[in-house]
């Protein structure tokens, strides 16, 4: 990798520390206290090693065979991430050039997995879990065998393009290994569309739903069969397409439907774009049918569309269709008063994240916090929200009638209790790269300071303070501030008009109103009203047209039937609207009319308003499994309801499935790979004998828990232990090797919980960050200098905690929110370090590793980042702590986990915790078990090997005027050249020198914990949601009520009522479940009391809030009657609720 000497030294230090930690952990694991005697997290320096590490989980023989070296050779020939690299390596593995497999079919299957892992960057588990197996089937004419690729649901983690390339890889192997092509018959072709249609209607909406013609064409021409395991409970609806000879499955196959819709059909243009270049060279000319398919697809898509090219955009209601109770709507699509689009990238925005003013967070009742996910209208589907105080804040009307703009967080806090209406939410900052990545047309932005200053500079011979001051008559100091800090420099109306008059540029945005939101009739009324009533001192005699001032966002104060404008607002309105002049007002639009009478040009301040609603709240908390276990030690039914070790000690035995080990030293039978009685390593694993009928052997037996517990206390050299130590019901892997009980005792002592793989995870929302200030992350100047941060972005030596520093690619900032109910990351990780140190010294008999004195000493320690649905972790280094509930890391870091910053979450855990405690033998062997498991650790981040979405993040310090002009014409984002990461890949600048357009004083500003998380009941959440709907002008409160009832309450109540009639019953004592209650009325296993698994309360919990909502808001009579019918159904099942005596105070 090309990088500066500073970054090279940074990477070298990370590598060295990782290797040393790995060596120490290897020595510890060699003590045989774990299921495996070696560290089970494989280290990988690059993509090639990562691919081998992932595939080794199912084919261990691929390790250390030269496959990684061969991938690097192919990359040198074709280029990194070229699909041909994957095809060649897949074929060579299938030829068994590197290692031997039991047969050719297994070799080809593993080869396909290797190629598939390469195109998925060796990160996701789709090559292991999504591609299930390769089957060989006979052609109908008997001329040979063809490939049948079996897929399952986890294939979605690969993404549409990579999954489609996986099919190409399989076909390349097929052709070069001499196998025949697939020959579908008419019914098999018809089955494809029928199954996809049923999946789309009954299971989930597909990203792309192809037409019948498309699926028929693709199925007929695809040289390999796409198949899948049954994943749904529904059978296909067409009875004529069931029980086909070569498709025996009648139930819907999720993986099959995904490949044949959102993959091959959707990505066909991209596949053909590449194959048309080198397909013939690779012998893939039989895929030339894609050219005809793409033409067919274009034809099908154009049906029903009007001829001619339309401009502009239409409201998109997708984000609001699945509204959930308690999560507010902040703006309807394109509705004035919603979030105003502002182009730019802040230090914490971009890569799907967006920024708003901290005052907006407060004005919307605290529902939006840093890290909160909003479902948005455009350019994508969702975004994590962050703060930026250099953009516009909200304009609000107070209860006393005053209208003002909230420019600071302090102003917002002081006025928050008095806000009656949010007239304008303020800006939302979205970077150009997000439009580029989604191929969303640019849409008009409201006139803003960064656009205005470029027009000013164009009119100056030299863009210097001297030239600006001398040309306009403003002070040199103001001119200097305007050119240097145009976003935050406040300007008086006199100076604004002087600049516009002398330089012939539009009026400054601070003195421009939302005139374009008026109709021509409203503009006429406004001019007439002001002409008759506006006095020289800014007083307006009557408030009859007050709503028009609110419509244009003009601040004013209200009195008894009168209004008062400030000097500057009165001057701006008089002059721009031609009040008191005889100037003719002509034009086709409102702005054209205003510009015909205004002495200076007025631009459209409104631009585009973007709709949004709350998605999921931000999250930062330790992961806890069901039962919140401290260790993966089985307690069986003897553990009781709490699954506690103490309960088993009372009974003296634990009955569960256990591995069988025999100590050769003391001859004792033990459940651990090292004898718990004499601590000998010389232990033999007794493999269970399969039963005669071929079934797996029953490994259930009772063990003397007191002996094992006492031996664990002896290892700890103590007789004192925590009051509650919690285990699990049973182990999940077929070998049934439990985690050592000593680890559970230590975790209970340090109040940390275990994940299913033996590690302790901290789940948190993801946000990208490229620059930070020391004051924001609780790190000292000295410590940052030790970590390599010696200069700021301007090259100045680091001396002050307000200097801006560029983040190194593998550094992370942990979430330590002072608000909320969950423990911050520094508390959890500090306790994990204590646990690991005590584990090393007392269990493994080795020196401690961390030796931290306090939480701040976590700075500099190494952590792993791992996203759901992936199996490859990325190494990170802690450099500080934020007050947010999101973990902040470089966009490269998130992209290395195949994630963006759209509001989803991933997890962090300590490096040594993973090395010592992770084991694949704790995980089940069912499909999906490799997801969210750190099978591989990438310790060096190569930007060329991360998700290519990150390449579209722009690196500019400011956007050109051409962007705003192109947006006015709805041009494509690639028609405007903006510097982005893709431009510097493979150079030293790929790690350093990124820019941002909008700064913020402190990213810890604003709301830190969403009100959604602090409101205790659903009724309170619902009341707060409807309060926001009434409060924000861009929201239709009656429609919100309708959506909550239709999309949430009615569905939930009906669904739970249906489940109630089909529910299981559960034993209170042993937790045994029964589909039907036993005739004896008690548990057949332990004679315990039986309970329903679905309570009446789960059905009726939303009934009263729903009825109240239907009563309070003018929903349709059909919806009200639907609610009454549901109420009657509940009454028929459970009877009427008991009368409850109420105090008179309830009715006052």
- Break the chain down into helix, strand, coil percent, rounded to 5: 40, 15, 45
What's the whole-number mean pLDDT along residues 47-55?
95
Mean pLDDT over all residues of the chain? 93
- 472 pLDDT above the threshold of 90: yes
- 1142 pLDDT above the threshold of 80: no
Task: Assign 416 to helix, strand or coil.
Answer: helix
- 1062 pLDDT above the threshold of 90: no
pLDDT band at 9 (very low <50, low <70, confident <90, very high): very high
Whose CA is closest to 85, among 118, 59, 109? 118
Per-residue pLDDT reduced to its tens digit, 863-885: 999 999 899 999 999 999 999 99
Distance of CA 1042 to the CA centre of its chain: 28
| pLDDT confidence of residue 1145 | 67
| pLDDT confidence of residue 141 | 93
Distance CA 215, CA 261 (A): 8
Distance CA 1146, CA 1124 (A): 24
Query: How far is CA 582 from each of CA 72, 527, 577, 596, rounded to the nearest angstrom?
Result: 77, 12, 11, 12
Cis peptide, bond prior to residue 379, ω within 30 of zero: yes
Residue 1140 burial by CB count (10 A; 0-12/13-18/19+): exposed, middle or buried? exposed
Query: Are residues 407 and 489 in contact, defined by beta-carbon separation less than 8 angstroms?
Result: no
Task: Assign 408 to helix, strand or coil.
Answer: coil
pLDDT band at 28 (very low <50, low <70, confident <90, very high): very high
The reply to whether the predicted model has a pTM over 0.75 is yes
- 1146 pLDDT above the threshold of 80: no
Distance CA 920, CA 930 (A): 8
- 430 pLDDT above the threshold of 60: yes
What's the start-to-end Cα distance of the chain, in Å? 73
Higher pLDDT, 1103 or 422: 422
Higher pLDDT, 204 or 167: 167
| pLDDT confidence of residue 462 | 92
Q: Which of 12-26, 364-378, 509-523, 585-599 has the lowest mean pLDDT?
A: 585-599
Distance CA 130, CA 117 (A): 11
What's the whole-number mean pLDDT along residues 635-642?
90
pLDDT band at 939 (very low <50, low <70, confident <90, very high): very high
Task: Assign 293 to helix, strand or coil.
Answer: helix
- 298 pLDDT above the threshold of 80: yes
| pLDDT confidence of residue 302 | 67
What's the whole-number mean pLDDT along residues 435-457?
95
- Please name the residue that has the structure tokens 């999504």: 130
Query: Are residues 609 and 428 in contact, defined by beta-carbon separation less than 8 angstroms?
Result: no
| pLDDT confidence of residue 699 | 83
Per-residue pLDDT reduced to its tens digit, 715-767: 999 999 999 999 999 999 989 999 999 999 999 999 999 999 999 999 999 99
What's the whole-number mean pLDDT along residues 552-574?
94
Per-residue pLDDT reduced to its tens digit, 302-359: 664 444 444 578 999 989 988 999 999 999 999 999 999 999 999 999 999 999 999 9
pLDDT band at 45 (very low <50, low <70, confident <90, very high): very high
Task: Assign 663 to helix, strand or coil.
Answer: strand
DSSP state for residue 618 in the 8-state scheme: P
Long-range contacts of 8-15 (CB under 8 A, 24+ apart): 9/788, 10/788, 10/808, 10/810, 11/940, 14/810, 14/862, 14/875, 14/877, 14/939, 14/940, 15/45, 15/939, 15/940
- 689 pLDDT above the threshold of 80: no
Per-residue tokens: 748 = 């209970």
| pLDDT confidence of residue 1139 | 63
| pLDDT confidence of residue 306 | 45
Per-residue tokens: 398 = 């107070």
């Amino acid at each position: 990798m090309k990088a500066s000497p500073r970054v090279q030294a940074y990477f070298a230090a990370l590598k060295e520390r990782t290797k040393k930690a790995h060596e120490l952990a290897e020595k510890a694991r060699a003590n045989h206290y774990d299921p495996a005697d070696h560290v089970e997290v494989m280290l990988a320096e690059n993509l090639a090693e990562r691919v081998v590490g992932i595939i080794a989980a199912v084919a261990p023989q691929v390790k250390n065979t030269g496959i990684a070296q061969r991938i690097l050779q192919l990359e040198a020939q074709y280029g990194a991430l070229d699909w041909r690299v994957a095809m060649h390596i897949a074929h060579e593995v299938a030829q068994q050039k590197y290692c031997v497999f039991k047969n050719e079919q297994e070799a080809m299957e593993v080869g396909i997995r290797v190629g598939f892992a390469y195109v998925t960057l060796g990160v996701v588990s789709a090559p292991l879990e999504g591609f299930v197996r390769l089957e060989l089937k006979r052609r109908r004419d008997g001329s040979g065998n063809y490939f049948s690729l079996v897929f399952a649901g986890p294939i979605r983690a690969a993404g549409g393009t990579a999954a489609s390339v996986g099919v190409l890889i399989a076909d390349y192997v097929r052709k070069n290994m001499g196998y025949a092509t697939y020959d579908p018959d008419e019914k098999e072709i018809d089955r494809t569309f029928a199954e996809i249609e049923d999946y789309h209607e009954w299971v989930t909406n597909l990203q792309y739903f192809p037409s019948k013609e498309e699926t028929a064409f693709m199925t007929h021409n695809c040289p390999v069969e796409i198949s899948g395991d049954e994943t749904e409970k529904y059978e296909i609806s067409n009875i004529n397409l069931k029980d086909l000879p070569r498709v025996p499955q009648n139930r819907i196959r999720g993986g099959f439907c995904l490949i044949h819709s959102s993959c091959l059909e959707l990505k066909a243009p991209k596949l053909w774009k590449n194959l048309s270049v080198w397909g013939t060279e690779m012998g893939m000319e039989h895929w030339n049918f894609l050219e005809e398919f793409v033409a067919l697809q274009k034809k099908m898509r154009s049906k029903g569309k009007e001829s001619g090219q339309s401009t502009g955009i239409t409201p998109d209601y997708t984000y609001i269709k699945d509204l959930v109770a308690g999560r507010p709507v902040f703006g309807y699509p394109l509705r004035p008063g919603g979030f105003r689009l502002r182009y730019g990238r802040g230090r914490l925005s971009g890569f799907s994240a967006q920024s708003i003013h901290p005052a907006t967070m407060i004005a919307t009742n605290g529902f939006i916090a840093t890290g909160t996910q909003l479902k948005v209208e455009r350019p994508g589907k969702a975004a994590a929200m962050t703060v930026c105080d250099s953009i516009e804040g909200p304009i609000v009307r107070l209860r006393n009638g005053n209208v003002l703009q909230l420019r600071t967080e302090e102003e917002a806090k002081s006025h928050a209790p008095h806000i009656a209406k949010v007239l304008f939410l303020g800006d939302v900052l979205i970077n150009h790269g997000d439009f580029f990545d989604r191929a969303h047309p640019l849409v008009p932005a409201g006139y803003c300071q960064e656009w205005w200053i470029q027009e000013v500079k164009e009119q100056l011979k030299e863009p210097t303070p001297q030239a600006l001051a001398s040309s306009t008559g403003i002070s040199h100091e103001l001119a200097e501030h305007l050119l240097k800090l145009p976003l935050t420099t406040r300007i008086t109306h006199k100076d604004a008009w002087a600049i516009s008059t002398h330089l012939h540029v539009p009026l400054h945005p601070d003195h421009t109103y939302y005139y374009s939101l008026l109709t021509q009739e409203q503009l006429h009324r406004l001019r007439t009203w002001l002409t008759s009533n506006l006095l020289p001192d800014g007083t307006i005699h009557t408030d009859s047209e007050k709503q028009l001032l609110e419509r244009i966002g003009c601040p004013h104060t209200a009195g008894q039937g009168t209004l008062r404008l400030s000097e500057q607002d009165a001057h701006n309105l008089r002059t721009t609207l031609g009040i008191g002049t005889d100037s003719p007002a002509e034009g086709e639009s409102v702005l054209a009319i205003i510009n015909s009478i205004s002495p200076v040009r007025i631009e459209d301040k409104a631009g585009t308003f973007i709709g949004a609603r709350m998605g999921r709240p931000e999250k930062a908390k330790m992961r806890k499994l069901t039962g919140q276990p401290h260790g993966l030690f089985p307690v069986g039914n003897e553990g009781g309801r709490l699954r506690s070790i103490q309960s088993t000690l009372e009974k003296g035995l634990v009955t569960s499935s256990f591995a069988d080990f025999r100590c050769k030293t003391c001859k004792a039978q033990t459940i651990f790979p090292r004898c718990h009685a004499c601590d000998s390593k010389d232990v033999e694993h007794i493999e269970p004998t399969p039963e005669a009928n071929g079934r797996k052997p029953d490994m259930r037996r009772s063990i003397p828990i007191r002996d094992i517990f006492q031996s664990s206390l002896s290892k700890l050299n103590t007789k004192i232990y925590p009051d509650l130590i919690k285990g699990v019901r049973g182990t999940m892997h077929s070998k049934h090797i439990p985690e050592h009980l000593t680890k559970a005792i230590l975790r209970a002592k340090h109040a940390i919980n275990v994940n299913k793989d033996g590690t302790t995870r901290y789940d948190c929302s993801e946000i990208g960050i490229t620059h930070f200030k020391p004051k924001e992350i609780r790190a000292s100047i000295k410590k940052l200098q030790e970590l390599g941060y010696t200069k700021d972005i301007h090259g100045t030596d680091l001396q002050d905690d307000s200097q801006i520093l560029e983040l190194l690619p593998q550094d992370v900032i942990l979430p330590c929110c002072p608000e909320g109910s969950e423990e911050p990351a520094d508390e959890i990780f500090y306790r994990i370090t204590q646990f690991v140190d005590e584990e090393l010294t007392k269990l493994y008999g080795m020196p401690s590793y961390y030796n931290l004195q306090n939480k701040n000493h976590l700075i500099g320690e190494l952590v792993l980042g791992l996203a759901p649905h992936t199996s490859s972790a990325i190494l990170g280094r802690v450099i500080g702590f934020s007050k947010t509930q999101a973990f902040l890391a470089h966009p490269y870091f998130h992209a290395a986990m195949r994630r963006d910053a759209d509001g989803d979450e991933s997890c962090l855990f300590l490096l040594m915790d993973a090395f010592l405690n992770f084991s694949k033998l704790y995980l089940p062997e069912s499909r999906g078990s490799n997801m969210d498991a750190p099978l591989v650790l990438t310790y060096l981040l190569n930007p060329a090997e991360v998700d290519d979405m990150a390449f579209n993040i722009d690196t500019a310090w400011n956007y050109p005027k051409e962007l705003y002009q192109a947006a006015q014409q709805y041009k494509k984002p690639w028609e405007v050249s903006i510097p982005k990461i893709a431009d510097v890949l493979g150079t030293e600048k790929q790690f350093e020198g990124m820019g941002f357009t909008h700064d913020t004083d402190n990213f810890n500003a604003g709301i830190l914990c969403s009100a959604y998380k602090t409101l205790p009941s659903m009724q309170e959440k619902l009341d707060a949601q409807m309060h926001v709907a009434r409060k924000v002008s861009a929201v239709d409160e009656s429609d919100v009520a309708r959506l909550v009832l239709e999309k949430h309450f009615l569905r939930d109540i009906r669904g739970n009522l249906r489940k109630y009639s089909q529910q299981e019953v559960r034993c209170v004592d042993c937790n045994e479940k029964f589909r039907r209650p036993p005739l004896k009325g008690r548990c057949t296993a332990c004679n315990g009391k039986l309970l329903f698994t679905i309570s009446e309360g789960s059905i009726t919990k939303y009934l009263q809030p729903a009825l109240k909502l239907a009563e309070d808001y003018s929903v349709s009579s059909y919806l009200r009657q639907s609610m009454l019918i549901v109420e009657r159904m509940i009454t028929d099942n459970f009877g009427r609720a008991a009368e409850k005596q109420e105090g008179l105070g309830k009715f006052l």
